[in-house]
Amino acid sequence: MQRKRKLGRGVAIVGAGMSKFGMFRDRDTKDLFLEAFNEAMASVDKGMDPNDIDAIYFGNFSNDFFVHQAHWGPIISDLIGNVPKASTRTEGACASGALALREGVFAIASGFYDIVLAGGAEQLSKLPTEKVTEGLALATSPYEGKAGFTFPGVFGATASAYFKKYGANREHLMNVTIKSHNNAPLNPKAQFPQSISDVMKDKVQRAIDKGKPVPVWKDEREFLRDPLVNPVVAWPMHLFDCSPISDGGSCVIMVAEELARNFTDAPLHVIGLGQGSGSGLHAKEDLASFEATKYAAREAYELSGLRPDDVQVCEVHDCFSIAEIVHLEDLGFFAPGQGYKAVEEGLTQRDGPKPINTSGGLKCKGHPIGATGTAQIYEIWKQLRGEAGERQVPIDSLRIGAAHNLGGTGGTCTFTILERRG
Ligand code: COA
């Protein structure tokens, strides 16, 4: 593939950390980010002095709304003892964390900084669901917002369009949900570390404990078809098609490529980087695709010289089950209209040829907006270094991984490709 763009100098990731994701009454943004930061520092194999961090890029969508505190760059700098060095907040809705990573890459590639911390955090769960929905809807386009769209509504429309165009149906979405829930119990940081079978057993036990009628479901699909346990949120998006309301933090430590071996013998090189933007529903000819993702993917493939088939493991932005299917196609992993079939055939399972969302995805790992971008990178860091424990993908010579982060209703999309060398 012909390369149009290049980085001024190479950039490598030498550390990564992530807090536990979940809904925490007693923990705030700072606690969660600090947990991620401490893990990231400890993960640098040969050690790093935190005073050597030149600058911070911190992704956060809307703590102004969710916790009534803005201006998070210096707060994070103060938290980790990096004042008076530069600290910048990045905002790209659900892609805010990936933008932090991207800005960090450019800062190092330009030669200005050698060592950068990039990450993000968000804290949603202290507000009631209606308020969270209102806050998240600030990331819709003005047209969508005025028309009353919320995120489940936008992705409900995406699913309806996809079904009509390609003949898929709700049963196909269940394959995504079941897969995510099968991966999550292998991820100790996941918000919902339960398979659907575990959820079913839990509900049966709770009914027994409360002396209520005990529900009976033949299998996972029958459970997912039951409107009492899996109600409609915005047709055809049901509860188990949605990512949850989450709190969490994550980050990575990046250095100039020539310095990487001072810190670890197993750095991950940033070899592909892409970002695109989109206009929103009013301008879309095809609701079953995100132009910004296609653009970001093209840019990242060009920079890396790789093709979709070269990506061995990938985290994609499954804010809703339909989103995972559409992204599989927009990233070029499967042809248009083939994504749902690929999932049905098990191709995207952890032990399949194209493992997707081994972390449990946003659906089960959780989706604390600003933290999601670098949490996806954290999963790829774990996988490419062979440190993913029970959820390690069974691929010999695992070398190339990628992460796709989508903000708003496709307004900001990024795609990042990482390579482990040596
Ligand atoms: N998947 C599966 N179960 C979920 C869930 C999810 N996403 N979210 C909550 N639950 C479960 C809870 O564990 C709880 O189970 P229990 O009754 O067995 O204890 C039950 O559903 C009710 O939880 P609650 O927190 O009251 O749910 P809610 O109705 O307030 O919120 C959603 C559910 C789907 C509306 C909410 O999670 C949501 O808005 N998600 C989308 C977030 C979003 O748009 N993010 C941005 C994407 S771009």
- pLDDT (tens digit, 9 = 90+) per residue, 279-334? 989 999 999 999 999 999 999 999 999 999 999 999 999 999 999 999 999 999 99
Looking at residue 411, what is its pLDDT? 97
Q: pLDDT tier at 5 (50, 70, 90 boundaries)?
A: confident
Bridge pairing between strands 55-59 and 400-407: unpaired
Q: What gap in Å lies between CA 373 and CA 38, rounded to an integer?
A: 18
- Please state the atom number of ligand 1 nearest to the C-alpha of residue 320: 47
Give me the amino acid identity at 326. Answer: V
- Predicted confidence (pLDDT) at residue 125 exceeds the cutoff of 70: yes
Average pLDDT over residues 119-136: 97
Burial class (CB in 10 A: 0-12, 13-18, 19+), 269: middle
CB-CB contact of 144 with 154 (8 Å): yes
Ligand 1 pocket residue status of 129, Cβ below 6 Å:
yes
Average pLDDT over residues 4-16: 94
- Please state the atom number of ligand 1 nearest to the C-alpha of residue 409: 48
Q: What gap in Å lies between CA 37 and CA 248, rounded to an integer?
A: 12
CB-CB contact of 170 with 184 (8 Å): no
- Please state the atom number of ligand 1 nearest to the C-alpha of residue 319: 47
Looking at residue 326, what is its pLDDT? 98
The percentage of the chain sitting over the pLDDT mark of 70, rounded to a whole number, equals 99
Bridge partners (DSSP) listed for residue 22? 247
Candidate list 172, 317, 327, 367, residue with the active-site label: 367
**Structure token digits, residue 301:** 């493939």
Active site residue 413: no
Looking at residue 1, what is its pLDDT? 52
Looking at residue 2, what is its pLDDT? 53
Give the global pTM: 0.98
Cα 251-115-28 angle, rounded to 5 deg = 30
Q: What gap in Å lies between CA 190 and CA 361, rounded to an integer?
A: 9
Closest residue by Cα to atom 1, ligand 1, is 240
Active site residue 404: no
